[in-house]
Amino acid sequence: MVHANRILLLVASAVAYAFAFPPHGWWPLALLSVGVLAGLLHGARPMHGLMTGYWWGMIAFGTGLSWLWQLFGPFSLLLWGILAVFPAAFGWLICLAQQRGVTAGWRLAFFTAVAWTGTEFVRCEVMPLKFPWMHLGLALEPWPLVSTVGVYGLGFVCMLTLAAALFRAKAGWVAFGVLMIVQIDTLVVSKRTPGQSQIKVVAVQAEGAATGTYMSLAKEGAADDTELIVWPEYTIPIDVRNVARSELEKVQAFAKERGALLVFGTQTRLEGPKWQNTALTIDGTNVLGEHGKNHTVHFFNDGEHGKTALPVVTPLGRIGTPICFDCDFQDVVRRMTLEGAEFFAVPSMDAASWSERQHIMHSQLFRVRAAENRRSMVVAASSGVSQIIDSHGRAMKSLGALKTGILSGAIERQTDLTFYTRLGWLIPWVALGVLVMWTALLLGFVKRRTRN
């Protein structure tokens, strides 16, 4: 009976974790879920911790990322299994540490935090099949402290205070309570009226349309004083500078007519058959700049990786133009911000066939990048979710998934750098380094005991 109850608790906590993310967004469930997982690991053998973490991950990812079945069918079972390896490693590490004398208090809480953050960061940003969705800090929208410690650092702080409370560290419940007060206060702040905005923008949402359709939609929705128009990724899926020059001339004539800058998705031909997914920034006369997509999408023909992340200098200021999947990871937006980007215009594409739920989940990643770096964003997605995001990561306006239309509003320019942008992004790397060294010491201790 006890064994059956533990299995039911494991399943319930894993499902609850999935519901902490969009479209539901019930963030307290994320804390409850990882708290239950940590409790199930307390005092267990390493192999038991490995299996507990694996099945927790398999159920959590299988539930939260069930839409992967629509893209990959039975192959998605393998994908969920790969993602589950990392909570499995977390479970093994926690049980190993307890077996080797790290049994209670702040020491165990700190190890739990570095084990969670280190394994999660490898899954999200380090391994070849990196997948930065459904990590703990991301669930806590609107992300208290995120402009200081980043979203991975927020996950570390949450796990540290939660583990301290669970493992009876002195003042553990006080620390966790303070964090929850900060979270609730951030929720209240997120509902306050935004500051005065400066740049009038329009995002067009349409998938696979002709160039004329994008122009018509923009004309219908753009006011005369619109300064920036953004179209989706792959708006013109051919090299407009070298192969389809007439398309570029048509688009520039439109930009000149509107008196606005235009950012849109196209391609750049490289050597031989190679090409690069590109965001092009133009006015009525010139190509002002470009960005080659750094993070191409796994398992899809998405071109060659871009290597630079620089803003485009324009009359409106320095514009960062990352493309879609670039914003899933912490590096591109941060590097552009360090190079002087004052706001962001993001062409994006989530195919309509990928499901509404996938679109809604993906939209959260743009908001967290804005919040980390305190930069406004306008996102034009092919079939949603297009957003106008303020510098605190709040979606001031959005156009839902699987719709065609336009989104108009205004965004701010910012020049100051957050602590996260300067140094806070190093927190998960430090946690990973501490984890590797601490684990090496634990394994070394096992070997010494065996020799003796």
Read off the pLDDT of residues 403-427 as tens digits, 9 standing for 90 and up: 999 999 999 999 999 999 999 999 9
pTM value surpassing 0.85: yes
What does the pLDDT look like over 51-64, one tens digit per residue? 999 999 999 999 99
Q: What is the per-residue pLDDT for 5?
A: 85
What does the pLDDT look like over 332-368, one tens digit per residue? 999 999 999 999 999 999 999 999 999 999 999 999 9
The answer to whether 399 and 407 are in contact (CB under 8 A) is yes
Longest Cα separation, the chain: 82
Provide the pLDDT confidence category of residue 449 given band limits of 50, 70 and 90: very low
Q: What is the per-residue pLDDT for 451?
A: 40
195 pLDDT above the threshold of 70: no
Mean pLDDT of the chain: 93
Q: Comparing C-alpha atoms, which of 121, 327, 316 is closest to residue 229?
A: 316
Task: State the amino acid at position 320 in one-letter form.
Answer: G
Q: Which residues, at least 6 apart from 222, have a Cβ–Cβ distance to it below 8 Å?
A: 202, 229, 258, 260, 406, 408
387 pLDDT above the threshold of 50: yes
What does the pLDDT look like over 116-125, one tens digit per residue? 999 999 999 9
Percentage with pLDDT > 90 across the chain: 84
Q: Comparing C-alpha atoms, which of 215, 245, 255, 236 is closest to residue 349?
A: 236
Q: Which residues, at least 6 apart from 206, have a Cβ–Cβ distance to it below 8 Å?
A: 213, 214, 217, 232, 382, 383, 404, 405
Residue in this structure with the two tokens 């920036």, named with its chain if needed = 228
Q: What is the per-residue pLDDT for 1?
A: 53
What does the pLDDT look like over 154-190, one tens digit per residue? 999 999 999 998 888 777 778 788 878 877 767 666 6
What does the pLDDT look like over 130-155, one tens digit per residue? 999 999 999 999 998 999 999 999 99
What does the pLDDT look like over 197-207, one tens digit per residue? 689 999 999 99
DSSP string, 388-445: EE-TTS-EEEEE-TT--EEEEEEE-------HHHHTGGGHHHHHHHHHHHHHHHHHHH
Q: Comparing C-alpha atoms, which of 302, 378, 294 is closest to residue 330?
A: 294
CA separation, residue 296 to residues 293, 305, 332 (Å): 6, 6, 12
